């Protein structure tokens, strides 16, 4: 084979042979949602799928029990294909990580018999805890990407897009401590920790008018007290702070932290701010790599009429990889019936015909991207 068209025809034929196993893998992960760093079933099912086709990967990679590394080939260009498989609390796979994992496994399988002729190394990396925990950042720091030349993954969304608008983010647990007392008999003896958290939220709401357009603050109360007739002596919350870049995020943090500190002073409580996850950075899409992906995407007809920029934005630990290594993170649209990622309706959309088509398009387009790079083809 000499042309990308010939490789595409082979990929289509080969995909038909593995499609049922990839759909089963996606459905199994979807049916058993697991949270950050606890994706044991997902890892086991990914490895079982590889083993069926004669490939053996290592779990517990880089001292993370639910990370996977599998290498095929020993060529001069090393391309990492990243998988995610963690879920969200309550809503399960509302971000479609089951599709991501199945497509990544599929792309790796499509390349397994081609790597020697193409002078490629393909590294499958199963990365835990994207939804909170920064698995890729930990793996990056521990050397998982040291020998990698290019890194890629796909992500389901309501639309197709060459890239996801990506904000930098930091995650914090905020707790207030006060003094409990009987809410009716002796309220004057209490120091209300819930008042501290409530006042902080009001201050943040007022501060939003002065924030930059790319700045975002959102949080939830995880513990608000124990009983209505007890003045709360402890409250806790989780907050995300986002901005366009890590640099801008550092400017946002003191403004928001002052809201918490000021609320503690006003309520005579004590506040504690704890960072719970490595900072996710902005994303730098590699223009050369995305050009190869665009060429590959034409074969699977990914460039559909709804391929556009709707302003859809989020954050991902793949962004940190992109600042170190040429990377891409295109979105593949599924029929989500008007829902968006992180809604329970999107969870339902991540299985079925449209989701299965996304797995196929993702697997083939990533495999063809790797082949295009190996062939030295001039991207469109």
**62 dihedral zone (left: phi>0; alpha: psi -120 to 50; beta):** left
Structural contact between residues 134 and 319, judged by C-beta atoms closer than 8 angstroms = no
Write out the DSSP string of 308-347.
Answer: S----EE--THHHHHTTS-EE--EEE---TT--TTSHHHH
Helix (H, G, I), strand (E, B) or coil at 209: helix
d(CA 189, CA 187): 5
* Domains of the chain, each with CATH number or no CATH: 4-166+282-375 (3.40.630.10), 168-275 (3.30.70.360)
Supply the pLDDT for residue 308.
47
Structure confidence by residue, pLDDT tens digits, 113-157: 999 999 999 999 999 999 999 999 999 999 999 999 999 999 999
Q: Where are the beta strands (DSSP E) in 25-147?
A: 58-59, 68-72, 77-84, 120-127
d(CA 221, CA 173): 10
Angle at which helices 40-52 and 4-31 pack, to 10 degrees?
A: 140
Residue 351 burial (10 A CB sphere; 0-12, 13-18, 19+): buried
Query: Which residues touch 311 (CB under 8 Å, ≥6 apart)?
Result: 165
Residue 172 C-beta-side C-alpha neighbours within 13 Å:
19
Supply the pLDDT for residue 311.
55
How far apart are the two ends of the chain, measured CA to CA in Å?
Answer: 20
Distance of CA 6 to the CA centre of its chain: 33
Structural contact between residues 253 and 241, judged by C-beta atoms closer than 8 angstroms = yes
d(CA 22, CA 67): 19
Name residues of the chain where pLDDT drops below 50: 305-309
Supply the pLDDT for residue 307.
43
Supply the pLDDT for residue 379.
58
User: Which residue, among 156, 119, 126, 138, has the nearest Cα to 46 in the 3D structure?
Assistant: 126
Supply the pLDDT for residue 324.
98
Place of tokens 């209505």: 228
Query: Which residues touch 236 (CB under 8 Å, ≥6 apart)?
Result: 173, 174, 175, 176, 221, 222, 223
Structural contact between residues 212 and 248, judged by C-beta atoms closer than 8 angstroms = yes
Structure confidence by residue, pLDDT tens digits, 240-250: 999 999 999 99
């Amino acid at each position: 084979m000499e042309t990308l068209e010939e490789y595409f025809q082979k990929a289509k034929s080969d995909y038909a042979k593995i499609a049922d196993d990839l759909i089963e893998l996606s459905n199994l992960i979807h049916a058993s949602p697991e949270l950050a760093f606890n994706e044991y079933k997902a890892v086991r099912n990914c490895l079982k799928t590889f083993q069926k086709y004669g490939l053996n990967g290592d779990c517990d990679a880089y001292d993370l029990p639910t990370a996977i590394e599998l290498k095929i080939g020993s060529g001069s260009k090393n391309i990492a294909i990243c998988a995610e498989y963690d879920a969200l609390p309550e809503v399960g796979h509302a971000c479609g990580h089951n599709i991501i994992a199945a497509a990544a496994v599929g792309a790796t399988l499509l390349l397994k018999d081609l790597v020697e002729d193409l002078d490629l190394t393909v590294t499958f990396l199963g990365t835990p805890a994207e939804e909170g925990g920064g698995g890729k950042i930990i793996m990056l720091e521990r050397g998982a990407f040291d020998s990698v030349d290019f890194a890629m993954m796909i992500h389901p969304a309501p639309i197709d897009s060459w890239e996801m608008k990506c904000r930098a983010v930091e995650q914090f647990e905020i707790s207030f401590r006060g003094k409990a007392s009987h809410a009716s008999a002796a309220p004057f003896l209490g120091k209300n920790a819930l008042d501290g958290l409530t006042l902080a939220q009001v201050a943040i709401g007022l501060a939003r008018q002065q924030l930059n357009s790319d700045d975002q603050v959102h949080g939830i109360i995880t513990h608000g007290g124990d009983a209505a007739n007890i003045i709360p002596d402890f409250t806790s919350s989780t907050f995300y702070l986002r901005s366009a870049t890590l640099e801008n995020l550092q400017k946002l943090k003191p403004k928001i932290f002052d809201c918490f500190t000021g609320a503690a002073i006003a309520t005579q409580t004590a506040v504690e701010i704890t960072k719970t996850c490595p900072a996710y950075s902005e994303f730098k899409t590699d223009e050369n790599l995305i050009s190869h992906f665009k060429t590959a995407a034409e074969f699977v007809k990914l460039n559909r009429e709804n391929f556009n920029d709707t302003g859809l934005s989020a954050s991902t630990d793949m962004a940190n990889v992109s600042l170190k290594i040429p990377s891409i993170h295109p979105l593949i649209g599924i029929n989500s019936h008007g829902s968006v990622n992180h809604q329970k309706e999107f969870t339902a959309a991540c299985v079925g015909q449209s989701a299965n088509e996304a797995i196929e398009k993702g697997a083939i387009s990533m495999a063809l991207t790797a082949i295009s790079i190996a062939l030295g083809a001039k991207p469109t």
